[in-house]
Amino acid sequence: MIKRKSQREHGKIKLSRYFQDFKIGERVAVVRELALEPKFPKTLQGRSGVIESKRGKSYIVRIKDLNKEKTYIIHPVHLRSLK
């Protein structure tokens, strides 16, 4: 679980991660970006899901929570592609 950034990375956002694109049906992992406010929910940290669609700049991600499938709207800076 990510609790802190290194001193050199503190407060910075990589623009390539901020503007990254995903395709519908692609598998992604949720890794929260600590430099952005408001803080991201800790319960989603480390989970993986599938991109359903795009809403504005964000993506709708389907994540299985125990036995239920839930949908979350997540900005791409918090997502990483799984291969």
Q: Are 23 and 41 in contact (CB under 8 A)?
A: no
The strand order across the sheet containing 48-55 reads 68-74, 58-65, 48-55, 27-30, 79-81
CATH architecture of the domain with residue range 26-81: Roll (2.30)
pLDDT tens string 5-56: 888 888 888 899 999 999 999 999 999 888 887 777 888 889 999 999 999 9
pTM for the model stands at 0.85
What ranges do the domains of the chain cover? 26-81
